[in-house]
Structure 1
Amino acid sequence: MGEIGELYEKNVKCPVCNIEFKTKKVRTSRLRLIKRDKDFLSYYKGENPLKYNIFVCPHCGYAASESKYDSINDKDRKIILKEVTSKWNSRDYGGKRTVDDAIETYKLALYIGQLLDYKRIDLGSLCLSIAWLYRIK
């Protein structure tokens, strides 16, 4: 029997286009914390789960954190279809991500958060994560 890897595949159904896709997540049992900065940026041996917190639909471009991904109403869905999907060049972030890939996913989620009028705390959290990713780059 092979060794269990750090990443596993998660099946996700996009609430905008209703198409299922796969994305990677980090197994929490495999996390090994090395250190934590004063602003709570955590460094891990191996994969950093921060890189995988944003789900991105490869078909329509909808991107959000796992906790917000399914909470979309019909009005917001129409905004995504008009402002994101109509301009989306299919990209698949479902595999192993580089820090640059992760930055792109967070920037897309931030853009969508601004379009959908997310609360300031949610937008701030996305901005902080982007800053952390630039720091670990």
Structure 2
Amino acid sequence: MTTFFPIELICPVCGTEFDSQTVGSCGFASKRTDFRPNYWGANPVSHFYHDCPTCGFCAPEKMFDSEIVSKEFIKQIKQMGPLKKTSWEENLTRKIERAMRCLELMKEYKIIEINKFTLANNWINAYWWANDRESELRFANIVLGYFKEVYKQEQVPEGQILEILYLRGEINRRIGNIEKANELFDHVLELAQDLPDQSKIASLAYQQKTDPQEIL
């Protein structure tokens, strides 16, 4: 069951005080094979991020405590403007994307310290909850780009290397890049031969290569 509770926030960009809601509790009944949770009750993801109704700054709650003095950053946020409200699905897609753009700008202007692995793990929400195929493909490629980069730079935590390789394979499979997906699944299987504690992710890679399923 998903629960929410009200919070009051002050936008660090324009100073607007506004009410929002944050997640009190949530749980999921299952996961897709790309690890997207299938939540019990209401989808809480929209409440992971909060958008200022005046300037459009959007970010996780803790980012609203940031001290923002960069005039260029503030200018770029205000140029985006407040988010337009349409259908729930489209609102969610736009809100997550706006939050990701704000996080990237906060990193660029050194307002926060956030690595690309963390950005990838945030962008994946945009891919998971995209409201149309075009958005899904666009966000998938952003996630894949970040994961590929951090893997090459050896920035993936050691215990998550095979999981991220598998996830890259599964995202590629879901967007139609079957050859690349199978290449990544094979890499998981190869590395797992010397890692008996990784047998579960190896079995999943084999399954998604030979008999793909949608739900774990």
Answer yes or no: is the 8 Å Cα contact 2:83–2:95 preserved in 1: no
Higher percent of residues as strand: 1
Matches within 5 A, 1:104-123: 104-116=94-106, 117=108, 118-123=114-119
Worse-matched range after superposition: 124-133 or 35-44: 35-44
Paired residue secondary structure (1:73): coil
Cα deviation for residue 39 of structure 1 reads: 4.2
Structure of larger gyration radius: 2
Question: 2:127 aligns to what?
Answer: 131
Structure with the greater relative contact order (CA < 8 A, sep ≥ 6): 1 or 2?
A: 1
Equivalent position of 1:27 in the other structure: 24
In structure 2, list runs of 5 or more residues that go unmatched.
109-113, 137-216
Residue pair 1:55, 1:63 contacting (<8 A) in 2 also? yes
Label 1:56 to 1:20 Cα distance change in 2 as closer, same or farther (>3 A). same
Q: Quick one: structure 1 residues 124 and 58, their matched pair in 2 at CA, closer, same or farther if it must change by over 3 Å?
A: same
- SS of structure 2 residue aligned to 1:107: helix
Aligned with residue 40 of structure 1, among 6, 20, 35: 35
Cα gap change, 1:108 to 1:37, in 2 (>3 Å): same
TM-score (norm 2): 0.49
| Distance in 1 between residues matched to 2:27 and 2:103, nearest whole Å | 31
In 2 relative to 1, CA 84–32 (structure 1 residues): closer, same or farther, beyond 3 Å?
Answer: closer
What is the aligned-residue RMSD (CA, Å)?
A: 2.8
Given that residues 52 and 102 in structure 1 are in contact (C-alpha distance below 8 angstroms), is that contact kept between their aligned partners in structure 2? no
What pairs up with 1:1-137 in 2 under 5 angstroms?
A: 6-28=3-25, 31-75=26-70, 78-88=71-81, 90-91=82-83, 98-116=88-106, 117=108, 118-134=114-130
Q: For the residues of structure 2 that align with 1:103 and 1:115, how far apart are their CA atoms?
A: 19
DSSP-derived class of the 2:64 partner: coil
CA shift, 1:21, in A, is 0.4
Aligned residue-pair number: 124
Deviation at 1:92, TM superposition (A): 7.2
Q: Which runs of 5+ in 1 are unaligned?
A: none
Q: Percent identity?
A: 22
Q: Larger % of helix: which? A: 2
